[in-house]
């Protein structure tokens, strides 16, 4: 049996922190691990910014609720889910993703979790596990699944390496040049074509009967 | 983060082989592992019966396509997927399940696979892995997920034992008496209530910020 693992932001929905930055006008929320390489430090910075402006979880959820999936993403996932199995692997937080998952007909999502106090303040976060995308793909393969994985950036590379087949979706040329072993696609229809090729290449079963 | 793992037949959809038996009139297709304890032998018997009557995969899919999910199952899974993550773990075959998954808005399903030749004859099957429900739950927990599992019969017991919380859904009294450590529910609303209690009992996070 086959499973497709997709990154969320950049593949199916916009980059969430960038959208939150634009809608709240807090430019510093645009900083990424390219600017502050330590993720804990980056998140502490982001949560400090939100807290200093008294922005609560529901404020951010309202902002995210106005976002829409990338053009064609809903039709793509509908088609995909009628042909094979899908689990989305993301570094975002379940509370951020929820309004967007609704607009994608609730595909299964494994991601991280914000810690929120009773006053709806975001006080921290809990990672599902370190290097969680790679480890999820490894665990899926240990379940006897053939895994196709697609993502758009450096934080997806270990997941792509762990999969039976990896694909870079709308990745910068520099990443595609560094990792020529992966397929590449610039739109959802090419991504779907890559997945269908993978499904057709199912190895002949041992065939008990 | 939490994940709910549900058995398929008896929890969300009718027993598929029994339905196929009724619709095709082949009574022997009702036999289960209670009648022929060796699963390989049982499946060889079933596939032999189909072949002797010249029944192809598409004939069975047509029969299954007329089935509907259990009453309330669609509303239950819709509600569930808006509140947490769901993966269905089943011993059925992906080709059998497909028409029913469509009627449940395509939840993620991990199950087994029929081997079908170019003339659409079912020539065998490939198990995802032995004891696949239990191993899937163990692998999900290794991904940092808290797992709630529910099923209706003996072949679900190891999955329930491997989960953080197990629930017997419409199980015979004998099973409920033998495994009093599991919750029990007789309808989808009680099942959903059990799942919500599990979600609320999320342990307080370490809380980085």
- Extents of the domains making up chain A: 2-14+69-200, 17-65
Task: Give the architecture (CATH level 2) of B17-65.
Answer: Alpha-Beta Complex (3.90)
List the structure tokens of B118. Answer: 């170019």
Question: Nearest CB to A111: which of B1, B94, B123?
Answer: B1
Closest CA of chain B from A177, distance in Å? 31
CA nearest to A140 within chain B: B139
Report the half-sphere exposure of A3 (CA within 13 A, side-chain side): 27
Closest CA of chain B from A119, distance in Å? 15
**Highest mean pLDDT out of A9-23, A25-39, B48-62, B157-171:** B157-171
Q: Spell B77-111 as b/e; 16+ CB within 10 A means b.
A: beebbeebbbbbbbbbbbbbbbbbbeebebbbbbb
Q: Spell B158-187 as b/e; 16+ CB within 10 A means b.
A: bbbebbbbbbbbbbeeebeeebeebbbbee
Record: contact A144-B124, CB cut-off 8 A: no
Overall fold of domain B2-14+69-200: Rossmann fold (3.40.50)
Helix or strand run (H / E) with residue A151 = strand A146-151
Our answer to whether residue B105 is catalytic in this structure is no
Q: Do A2-14+69-200 and A17-65 share a fold?
A: no
Question: Nearest CB to A128: which of B1, B44, B111?
Answer: B1
Record: contact A143-B122, CB cut-off 8 A: no
Spatial CB neighbours of B77, under 8 Å, sequence gap ≥ 6:
B12, B86, B104, B105, B107
Closest CA of chain B from A181, distance in Å? 26
How confident is the prediction along chain B (209 residues), in pLDDT tens digits per residue?
999 999 999 999 999 999 999 988 999 999 887 788 888 899 999 999 999 999 999 999 999 999 999 999 999 999 999 999 999 999 999 999 999 999 999 999 999 999 999 999 999 999 999 999 999 999 999 999 999 999 999 989 999 999 999 999 999 999 999 999 999 999 999 999 999 999 998 775 544 43
Max CA distance (Å), chain A: 66
Q: Helix B16-24 to helix B94-102 angle, to the nearest 10 degrees?
A: 90
CA nearest to A42 within chain B: B209
Q: Report ipTM for this prediction.
A: 0.93
Our answer to whether residue B38 is catalytic in this structure is no
- The model's pTM is 0.94
């Amino acid at each position: 049996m086959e499973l497709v693992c997709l990154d969320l932001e950049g593949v199916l929905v916009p980059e969430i922190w960038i959208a939150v930055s634009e809608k709240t006008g807090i430019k510093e929320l645009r900083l990424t691990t390219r600017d502050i390489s330590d993720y804990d430090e980056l998140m502490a910075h982001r949560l400090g910014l939100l807290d200093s402006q008294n922005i609560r979880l529901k404020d951010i959820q309202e902002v995210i609720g106005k976002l829409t999936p990338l053009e064609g993403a809903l039709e793509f996932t509908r088609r995909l889910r009628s042909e094979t199995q899908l689990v989305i692997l993301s570094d975002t937080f379940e509370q951020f993703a929820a309004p967007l998952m609704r607009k994608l007909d609730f595909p299964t999502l494994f991601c991280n979790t914000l810690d929120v106090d009773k006053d709806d303040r975001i006080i921290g976060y809990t990672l599902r596990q370190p290097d969680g995308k790679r480890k999820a793909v490894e665990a899926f393969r240990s379940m006897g699944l053939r895994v196709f994985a697609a993502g758009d950036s450096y934080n997806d590379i270990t997941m792509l390496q762990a999969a039976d087949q990896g694909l870079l979706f709308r990745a910068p040329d520099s990443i595609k040049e560094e990792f020529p072993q992966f397929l590449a696609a610039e739109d959802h229809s090419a991504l779907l074509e890559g997945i269908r090729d993978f499904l057709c290449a199912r190895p002949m079963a041992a065939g008990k009967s």
